[in-house]
């Protein structure tokens, strides 16, 4: 793998359009920055227009702005690796999916699509952030059951992720560990490992099927 830092495009990524091309997950946020309500609204609007199976829109987001009680609940339950950088972000969007029937007996019959579609909404929010000059870093390392309980989540919803959004901060104010995360090389599986043609396991090779 080439030895390029986290924020540098990796070989292959140069074919991507913006905002996909310049999306990455910083770990040093400016802890004095705040999002305007209109910016939060635009990020939620991006999630809102994500596609979903049967247009069920199974996602729910709790907006935890730095300095609010809900944010403090999250911070108290962050796993160690996230406890330094997450609290500095301007806002954390807590992403949850309805995976079972609610009090009215309404809900998805196939929970895997709820998680899938929460992922799509999270991606749209994250990419909208990048397009607005912001950065987003998704994380799952927190005590999700404890946070969900303290914030009153019902049993038919699963809290899965946080999306930390903000602007880059001064590396001098970050921990050594978080600075090293920023320099970590980004890598991904080769396309041939995840893209097939013809049948499972046969790498898609860029040629029409049967001629490769």
Chain residues 162-201 in contact with a second copy, contact rule CB under 8 A = 187-189, 191, 194-201
Q: Does 79 bind a second copy (CB under 8 A)?
A: no
Using H for helix, E for strand and C for coil, what is the string for 55-95? HCCCEEEEEEECCCHHHHHHHHCECHHHCCCHHHCCEEEEE
Q: Would you say 170 or 185 has its CB closer to a second copy?
A: 185
Q: Within positions 44 to 63, which residues make up the interface with a second copy, using CB under 8 A?
A: 44-51, 53, 55, 57, 59-63
Q: How far apart are the first and last CA of the chain?
A: 26
Tokens of 89: 């972000």
Among 6, 70, 75, 146, interactor with a second copy by CB under 8 A: 70
Please provide residue 109's backbone torsions phi and psi, each rounded to the nearest 5 degrees: -90, -20
3-state class (DSSP) for residue 153: coil
Binding map of a second copy across residues 117-136, x = CB under 8 A, - = no contact: xxxx-xxx-xxx--xx----
Cα–Cα distance measured from residue 117 to residue 137, given in angstroms and rounded to the nearest whole number = 18
Among 3, 104, 152, 176, interactor with a second copy by CB under 8 A: 152
Q: Does 161 bind a second copy (CB under 8 A)?
A: yes
Long-range contacts of the stretch 148-154 (C-beta < 8 A, 24+): 148/96, 150/73, 151/62, 151/70, 151/73, 151/94, 153/96, 154/102, 154/103
Q: Would you say 172 or 189 has its CB closer to a second copy?
A: 189
Among 28, 160, 165, 174, interactor with a second copy by CB under 8 A: 160
Q: Does 76 bind a second copy (CB under 8 A)?
A: no
Find the shortest distance in angstroms from Cβ 61 to a second copy. Answer: 5
Q: Does 153 bind a second copy (CB under 8 A)?
A: yes
3-state class (DSSP) for residue 115: helix
Find the shortest distance in angstroms from Cβ 208 to a second copy. Answer: 7
Q: What is the C-alpha R_g of the chain? A: 19
Find the shortest distance in angstroms from Cβ 167 to a second copy. Answer: 17
Task: Tell me how crowded residue 86 is: count the other CB atoms within 10 A of its CB.
Answer: 23
Find the shortest distance in angstroms from Cβ 124 to a second copy. Answer: 6
Find the shortest distance in angstroms from Cβ 163 to a second copy. Answer: 10
Q: Does 204 bind a second copy (CB under 8 A)?
A: yes
């Amino acid at each position: 793998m080439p030895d390029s830092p986290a924020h540098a495009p990796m070989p292959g990524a140069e074919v991507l359009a913006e905002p996909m091309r310049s999306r990455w997950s910083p770990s040093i946020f400016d802890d004095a920055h705040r999002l305007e309500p209109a910016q939060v609204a635009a990020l939620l609007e991006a999630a809102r227009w994500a596609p979903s199976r049967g247009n069920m829109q199974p996602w729910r987001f709790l907006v935890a702005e730095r300095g609010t009680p809900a944010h403090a609940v999250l911070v108290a339950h962050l796993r160690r690796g996230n406890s330094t950088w997450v609290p500095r972000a301007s806002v954390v969007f807590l992403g949850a999916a309805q995976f079972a029937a609610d009090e009215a007996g309404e809900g998805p019959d196939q929970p895997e699509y709820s998680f899938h579609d929460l992922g799509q909404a999270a991606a749209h929010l994250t990419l909208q952030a990048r397009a607005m000059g912001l950065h987003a870093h998704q994380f799952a390392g927190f005590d999700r059951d404890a946070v969900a309980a303290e914030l009153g989540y019902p049993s038919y919803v699963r809290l899965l992720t946080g999306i930390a959004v903000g602007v880059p901060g001064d590396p001098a104010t970050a921990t050594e560990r978080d600075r090293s995360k920023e320099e970590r090389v980004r890598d991904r599986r080769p396309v041939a490992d995840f893209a097939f043609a013809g049948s499972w396991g046969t790498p898609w090779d860029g040629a029409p099927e049967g001629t490769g």
